[in-house]
């Protein structure tokens, strides 16, 4: 994200091209009316992906700045922010999609997935799909499930191993036929889910 331009090829598969190490905004952002009490629209605007701890070892946030386009160039851009806050042995996620510029973004399925760190392909410890509302210049932000609540992971994480999350999705841009993809972002890595007070981050931001 940020400097990654994601497009859909003729075979229907997504491909990613780096368009800039630090993507800079190329069109003005609409006036922001009714901004929620957070800094999501200003934090990490000059980078690609940023992560930070919030509240010690138990809450973390990640933001991806995402331009998207086709063979002709960049079409638009948006921000995808994920906040994760543990509830004991359950991971919980709050998600925000912010329109920066371009046509209306029409989100398809997004997901917050819990993954177990193992040798070889990582396992799953919960898959949690959700759906943003459309975002555009007039309605520029969508928060799921809300600005104050969370989706709770479908499974409890009780093991002594290590875990992380995968957060990603797909969308259409109004007036364009391809399905675009929001690349995967991660809030961090956590462990100690088998010992009270249970799950805690050991690596934020993701690296």
Q: Is residue 33 part of a domain?
A: no
Q: Is residue 47 part of a domain?
A: yes
The tokens 């609540």 sit on which residue? Answer: 149
Both structure tokens of 120: 């070889």
Q: Is residue 38 part of a domain?
A: no
Count the alpha carbons within 13 Å of 39 in the hemisphere toward its beta carbon: 9
Q: How far apart are CA 78 and CA 3, in angstroms?
A: 12
pLDDT score of 5 more than 80: no
The model's pLDDT over 128-185, given as tens digits with 9 standing for 90+, comes to: 999 999 999 999 999 999 999 999 999 999 999 999 999 999 999 999 999 999 999 9
120: domain range? Answer: 4-24+43-203
The model's pLDDT over 9-49, given as tens digits with 9 standing for 90+, comes to: 545 555 544 333 333 333 334 444 444 568 998 999 887 99
CB atoms within 10 A of CB 50: 18
Q: Is residue 34 part of a domain?
A: no
pLDDT value of position 45: 87
The model's pLDDT over 65-99, given as tens digits with 9 standing for 90+, comes to: 999 999 999 999 999 999 999 999 999 999 999 99
pLDDT value of position 176: 97
Q: Is residue 30 part of a domain?
A: no
Residue pair 4/66 in contact (Cβ under 8 Å)? The answer is yes
Q: How far apart are CA 183 and CA 2, in angstroms?
A: 10
Residue pair 143/135 in contact (Cβ under 8 Å)? The answer is no
Whether omega for the bond prior to residue 145 falls within 30 degrees of 0, making it cis, is: yes
Beta strand 105-116 with 123-130: parallel, antiparallel or unpaired? antiparallel
Both structure tokens of 132: 């943003």
Mark out the alpha helices in the chain (DSSP H runs): none
Q: Is residue 36 part of a domain?
A: no
pLDDT value of position 83: 98
Q: Is residue 193 part of a domain?
A: yes
Q: Is residue 141 part of a domain?
A: yes
Q: How far apart are CA 80 and CA 107, in angstroms?
A: 11
Q: How far apart are CA 47 and CA 175, in angstroms?
A: 28
pLDDT value of position 55: 79
pLDDT value of position 103: 99
Q: Cβ contacts of residue 1 below 8 Å, gap of 6+?
A: 48, 49, 64, 65, 66, 80, 182, 183, 185
The tally of domains found in the chain comes to 1
């Amino acid at each position: 994200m940020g400097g990654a331009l994601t497009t859909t090829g003729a075979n229907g598969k997504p491909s990613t091209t780096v368009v800039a190490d630090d993507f800079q905004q190329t069109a003005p952002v609409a006036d922001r009316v009714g901004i929620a009490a957070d800094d999501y629209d200003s934090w990490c605007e000059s980078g690609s992906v940023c992560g930070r701890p919030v509240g010690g070892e138990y809450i973390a946030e990640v933001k991806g700045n995402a331009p998207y386009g086709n063979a002709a160039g960049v079409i638009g851009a948006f921000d995808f922010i994920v906040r994760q806050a543990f509830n004991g042995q359950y991971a919980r996620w709050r998600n925000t999609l912010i329109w920066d510029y371009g046509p209306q973004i029409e989100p398809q399925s997004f997901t917050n997935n819990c993954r177990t760190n193992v040798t070889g392909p990582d396992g799953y410890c919960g898959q949690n799909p959700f759906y943003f509302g459309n975002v555009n210049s007039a309605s520029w932000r969508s928060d799921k499930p809300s600005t104050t609540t969370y989706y709770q992971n479908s499974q409890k994480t009780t093991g002594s191993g290590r875990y992380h999350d995968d957060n990603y999705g797909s969308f259409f841009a109004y007036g364009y036929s391809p399905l675009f993809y929001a690349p995967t972002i991660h809030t961090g890595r956590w462990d100690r889910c088998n010992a009270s007070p249970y799950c805690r981050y050991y690596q934020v931001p993701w690296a």
